[in-house]
A and B are shown apart, each in its own frame.
Chain A
Amino acid sequence: MSAKSCELRTVMVMNFSGQSHEVAISVRDLVVDYKQLRAVNKISFDVKQGQVTVVIGPNGAGKTSTMEVCSGVRTATSGKISVLGLDPQKDRSKLNSQIGVMLQDGGVYPSARVFEVAQHYCNLYGNRTTATELLDAVDLNRQRKTSWRRLSGGEKQRLSLALALAAKPRVAFLDEPTSGVDIFGRDLIRGIVRRLADDGCAVIMATHELDEAQRVADHVLMFQDGNLLANAPLAELRGSAGVNQTLEDIFRDLSNNSAVSKSRDTQ
């Protein structure tokens, strides 16, 4: 185990130093408020092309709010956001043809059938790929005629991911792509995510499953209560924490530290 993760680390470090990754998303001082509640509290980070950036943290930490602001679905309360050099609100029509978005809940009409939806999304992006190709990639070609309502949780997630791929995106926003997915589906999704990044796409993916994050991340954004606990390459995070430390251990440590410093502040 430790030998393997050592090896993984070396590969990643080389990857970081060997290639220069352009910034695809730049976020500065982002604040998102819902009425009385502050969901995201003045955070800043970059997401780079050709990397998988994983957003982790417990429920309600601000992951989805941040992703939605970046993909243009939600308006920020304040802050400066740029995606591929564009403003996600003002330049939405320009940006939409270059990004693929997988929302937390599928966003497909229950009576719509698998092939039909895939075909529709291909059409929306000007047929950069075919529906058959998309469904092959997520192993859903046998369910072509099944309606969304009759798909299992894992199949829904796979179709939803496929729809985001129809864009042949330069930036992919994936909100919990593996939740409710079985072990084979996870492998498949992880493979797709890796390939996307290897092809130069900037992948930003939210999850609260830390094991998942650990397997696929190049870079980690750790959220808690709307703040960023960590913003670092996975290899660096794990390097500083010791080889045997899992992301879960690291998260607990950082979370405890922040709680301690917070209570010190208030005293």
Chain B
Amino acid sequence: MKIFRSQLRQELTVMARNGEQLLLLVVIPIMLLIFFAQTDFLPTNSENKIDFLMPGILGLAVMSTAMVSLGIATGFERSYGVLKRLGTTPLGTRRLILAKVVAICVIEIAQLVLLIFVGQLLGWNPSRVNLAQVLVLLLIGTSCFAGIGLTLAGRLRAEINLAAQNGLYLVLLLLGGIFASNDELPKTLGDVAQVLPSSLLSSLLRNSFNNNELVITDAIALGGWALSACALAVISFKWSD
């Protein structure tokens, strides 16, 4: 337990020192939220604008932490030989991964609290929310994005990994049905977007917050993404360059 706590502390300290991550994790989601909530760019009608936006932004926050932040940090740890060296200590793979998972969850909780607070200031007040369902979906989303982030981090060179994570973040953001429904996209692109994990998560969250509904097929698809991404990460991950 002491070993685990020490590793967790190390993970959180290193993450907290990466100031530029703050932009990605907190500033960008909040700015997007405020901007689109206060303007009329979105094709949705103004009454339920914030109800449409908020679930997608929460999904985006999860993606930025679990995929981009974890992925980039792990990529650099690999290239600096940090993982290789830890591999010679009694830490062990299981404790290392667990420490990373808990560290992400801690950051996500902070993000969600902050975003929900800002959302409330903007008049967000979901009435028919199924909280347990939301939490489960966020967890599945977290494992899915962590799997994707670690798959890239476990193979690519640190700098290429950095670019790839940010690029993928942008693609998944634009095709994530976060600001507008995927129906607004050209037909083929919309069909592709529909099955991307960011779209699945945002629409699942939207249904849980606004209608207390669960589209089983979407949930299964997201679960499938999570399972395969994590499996791929486990199979392909290389501890050193």
The yes or no answer to B88 lying at the interface (CB within 8 A) is yes
Bound-complex Cα distance A108 to B79 (A): 10
In the complex, how many angstroms separate the beta carbon of A98 from the nearest chain B beta carbon?
9
**75-121 of chain A: CB within 8 A of chain B:** 93, 96-97, 99, 101, 103, 105-112, 116, 119-121
- In the complex, which of the residues B3, B14, B81, B92 contacts A123, with contact meaning CB atoms closer than 8 Å? B3
The yes or no answer to B155 lying at the interface (CB within 8 A) is no
CB contacts (< 8 Å) of B13 on chain A: these are 112, 116
CB contacts (< 8 Å) of B18 on chain A: these are 111
CB contacts (< 8 Å) of A124 on chain B: these are 3, 6-7, 86, 89-91
The yes or no answer to A8 lying at the interface (CB within 8 A) is no
- In the complex, which of the residues B10, B81, B90, B240 contacts A97, with contact meaning CB atoms closer than 8 Å? B90
Bound-complex Cα distance A111 to B80 (A): 12
**94-119 of chain B: CB within 8 A of chain A:** none
- In the complex, which of the residues A112, A116, A125 contacts B90, with contact meaning CB atoms closer than 8 Å? A125
The yes or no answer to A71 lying at the interface (CB within 8 A) is yes
The yes or no answer to B187 lying at the interface (CB within 8 A) is no
- Contact between B91 and A105, CB atoms less than 8 A apart: no
- Contact between B80 and A110, CB atoms less than 8 A apart: yes
CB contacts (< 8 Å) of B76 on chain A: these are 109
Indicate with 1 or 0, residue by residue over B60-88, a CB within 8 angstroms of chain A CB atoms.
Answer: 00000000000000001100111011111
- Contact between B85 and A103, CB atoms less than 8 A apart: yes
CB contacts (< 8 Å) of B2 on chain A: these are 123, 126
Known A111-B17, A120-B6; contact A71-B81, beta-carbon cutoff 8 A:
no
**9-55 of chain B: CB within 8 A of chain A:** 9-10, 13-14, 17-18
Bound-complex Cα distance A121 to B76 (A): 20
CB contacts (< 8 Å) of B5 on chain A: these are 123
CB contacts (< 8 Å) of A97 on chain B: these are 90
In the complex, how many angstroms separate the beta carbon of A125 from the nearest chain B beta carbon?
6
CB contacts (< 8 Å) of A105 on chain B: these are 80-81
| Chain B residue with the shortest CB-CB distance to A93 | B92
The yes or no answer to A73 lying at the interface (CB within 8 A) is yes
- Contact between A112 and B10, CB atoms less than 8 A apart: yes
- Contact between A96 and B80, CB atoms less than 8 A apart: no
The yes or no answer to A72 lying at the interface (CB within 8 A) is yes
CB contacts (< 8 Å) of B90 on chain A: these are 93, 96-97, 124-126
Bound-complex Cα distance A37 to B51 (A): 60
Known A103-B84, A111-B14, A120-B6; contact A96-B77, beta-carbon cutoff 8 A:
no
- Contact between B81 and A107, CB atoms less than 8 A apart: yes
- In the complex, which of the residues A101, A110, A112, A119 contacts B88, with contact meaning CB atoms closer than 8 Å? A101
- Contact between A72 and B6, CB atoms less than 8 A apart: no
CB contacts (< 8 Å) of B85 on chain A: these are 101, 103, 106-108, 163
CB contacts (< 8 Å) of A167 on chain B: these are 89
- Contact between B88 and A109, CB atoms less than 8 A apart: no
CB contacts (< 8 Å) of A72 on chain B: these are 87-88
| Chain A residue with the shortest CB-CB distance to B11 | A109
Bound-complex Cα distance A55 to B68 (A): 41
Known A112-B10, A120-B10, A123-B3; contact A107-B84, beta-carbon cutoff 8 A:
yes
**15-47 of chain A: CB within 8 A of chain B:** none
Bound-complex Cα distance A110 to B85 (A): 14
**239-257 of chain A: CB within 8 A of chain B:** none
- Contact between B3 and A109, CB atoms less than 8 A apart: no
Bound-complex Cα distance A155 to B80 (A): 17
Bound-complex Cα distance A106 to B84 (A): 10
Known A73-B84, A96-B88; contact A109-B6, beta-carbon cutoff 8 A:
no
CB contacts (< 8 Å) of B6 on chain A: these are 119-120, 123-124
- Contact between B17 and A107, CB atoms less than 8 A apart: no
CB contacts (< 8 Å) of B81 on chain A: these are 103, 105-107
| Chain A residue with the shortest CB-CB distance to B83 | A107
Residues of B at the A interface (CB closer than 8 Å) are 2-3, 5-7, 9-10, 13-14, 17-18, 76-77, 80-82, 84-92, 240
Beyond A93-B92, A107-B80, A109-B76, 9 additional contacts (C-beta under 8 Å) are: A96-B92, A103-B81, A107-B84, A111-B14, A111-B18, A112-B10, A120-B7, A121-B89, A167-B89
Residues of A at the B interface (CB closer than 8 Å) are 71-73, 93, 96-97, 99, 101, 103, 105-112, 116, 119-121, 123-126, 163, 167
Jot down 13 A-B pairs with beta carbons below 8 A, ordered by A: A72-B87, A73-B87, A73-B88, A93-B92, A96-B89, A103-B85, A107-B85, A107-B86, A110-B80, A112-B10, A116-B10, A124-B86, A124-B91
